[in-house]
Structure 1
């Protein structure tokens, strides 16, 4: 009698690994999405438009900023330009992943770009450190996990916002801060990365009062510059101490 065996393809295994690796981060994503859903109506955004924004824009910080600008009656060009500035960090993510995804067909890379968020980038970096062979499937699994959670809990927030007054003031955003702290700390493996994180953090604090979240971009530039400088001198110091 023939014995049947289950064969899991490398792509399916990588997809599952990416999905599972991103699950813990949803402890921070879910409360953040709920808050966005509750703030939509007070900002003048209809429920269907809030849900559509989470599907089409799919960028947490940019969506919150857009709500703030909508409530302040800002014009559409100002909203688009400001959210573009906030999301410029994704260009750095893309540049980092250009090498690992170089052999992936263009149409697949274009589709994966939709899922490129902070959480998925962190998960993919972890997958690369673990030598995952099908990193594109890994990224897809991570992205679907994060995206589905964001959209579903945006809908939950919209419903709760209508039933539970002042839910946005319950301090749920702390979960997102804790999650991002965990993401960043786990990725600080070298001295250059640690210096980059310190420089970016200090710059973000000092420039927090700048309008349109420009402090965020300054923090990115400062972190990249500090990290590159530290990485350049790191081999010299190792040679001298050898």
Structure 2
């Protein structure tokens, strides 16, 4: 009698790559207007055409690019823009911490590439891949497919937005800047599923209003740091409480 355990068939790297791109398509559809909007508003906000394209190619961070654009239009200093976008992107540390055990076996160049391609959309797609399949030996090719699909879409939509801005110079009068605010609200709402998240948003919003008069838009940094601090503190308190309750029941 053969008692050997049959190992699941290993998916090829090309299949992993294609599956990663496919898993990201629904998220790409939602990001298309976001990328076009960035390209359209870039030049009127004070960023050159080449600067807009370079930012999408090199920075590749939708929310941070919009924030940088707003600060640039408001005349904020470069150090303030860099510091503010850095704070906004701190959430990627949580994404990275979650992925570390899954990519520990990969060489440094792969991990560097994955770090550059880490976005909300790719993290969501790749998280499902890791949850659904135990074999992660070639899961980085799934990640690469997701990343390149998202990256190509973002750069292409930026270029399209820039072109539309050139064809219709008065697009800044169409109220697209309001659409940018609505887009951010739409990004935040799905995350409001816990008390720490609600607290972070409320505190950040209140601090943004309270510090609006501070020069160089420094109030945005204060608001972001305050929101993160309050949300993280509540999350840690809840985790500690649940841990204590679990030990009590044992």
Q: TM-score, normalised by structure 1?
A: 0.79
Is 1:199 the equivalent of 2:199? yes
Unpaired runs of at least 5, structure 1: 1-6, 189-193
Query: Take 1:17 and 1:179, find their aligned partners in 2: how far apart are those partners?
Result: 25
Q: Could you say what secondary structure the match of 1:207 adopts?
A: helix
Query: Take 1:179 and 1:116, find their aligned partners in 2: how far apart are those partners?
Result: 17
Stretch deviating more after TM superposition (227-236 or 102-111): 227-236
Stretch deviating more after TM superposition (22-31 or 70-79): 70-79
Residue matched to 1:4: none
- CA RMSD in angstroms, aligned pairs only: 2.8
1:176 deviation in Å?
A: 6.0
CA contact (8 A) 1:28 1:178 kept: no
Residue matched to 1:70: 72
Residue matched to 1:46: 48
Query: Take 1:98 and 1:65, find their aligned partners in 2: how far apart are those partners?
Result: 28
Query: Take 1:227 and 1:78, find their aligned partners in 2: how far apart are those partners?
Result: 28
CA contact (8 A) 2:208 2:220 kept: no
1:238 deviation in Å?
A: 5.6
Alpha-carbon distance change, 27 to 73 in structure 1, aligned in 2, over 3 angstroms: same
Residue among 152, 160, 166 paired with 2:171: 166
Query: Take 1:176 and 1:16, find their aligned partners in 2: how far apart are those partners?
Result: 30
Query: Take 1:236 and 1:13, find their aligned partners in 2: how far apart are those partners?
Result: 45
Aligned residues: 228
Unpaired runs of at least 5, structure 2: 1-8, 212-218
Larger Rg: 2
Alpha-carbon distance change, 236 to 69 in structure 1, aligned in 2, over 3 angstroms: closer
Query: Take 2:30 and 2:241, find their aligned partners in 1: how far apart are those partners?
Result: 36
